[in-house]
Amino acid sequence: VQLQASGGGLVQAGGSLRLSCAASGSIFKINVMGWYRRAPGKQRDLLATINSDNSTVYADSMKGRFTISRDNAKNTVYLQMNSLKPEDTAIYYCYADAARAWFAPNRDYWGQGTLVTVSS
Could you tell me the maximum CA-CA distance found in the chain, to the nearest angstrom? Answer: 50
Q: What's 112's DSSP letter? A: -
The pLDDT, as a whole number, for residue 25 is 95
- Residue 82's contacts (CB-CB under 8 Å, 6 or more residues apart) are 16, 65, 66, 67
Contact 2, 109 (CB under 8 A): yes
Q: Where are the beta strands (DSSP E) in 1-120?
A: 2-6, 9-12, 17-24, 29-38, 44-50, 56-58, 66-71, 76-81, 90-99, 107-110, 114-119
Query: Pairing relation of β-strands 44-50 and 29-38?
Result: antiparallel
44's CB contacts (< 8 A; 6+ apart) are: 36, 37, 38, 93
What's the pLDDT score for residue 62?
A: 81
Using an 8 Å Cβ cutoff, are 109 and 95 in contact?
yes
- Residue 114 has what pLDDT? 97
Q: In the prediction, which pLDDT does 76 show? A: 97
Fill in the amino acid letter for 109: Y
Residue-by-residue pLDDT tens, the chain, 120 positions: 999 999 999 999 999 999 999 999 999 999 999 999 999 999 999 999 999 999 999 998 887 899 999 999 999 999 999 999 999 999 999 999 999 999 999 999 999 999 999 999
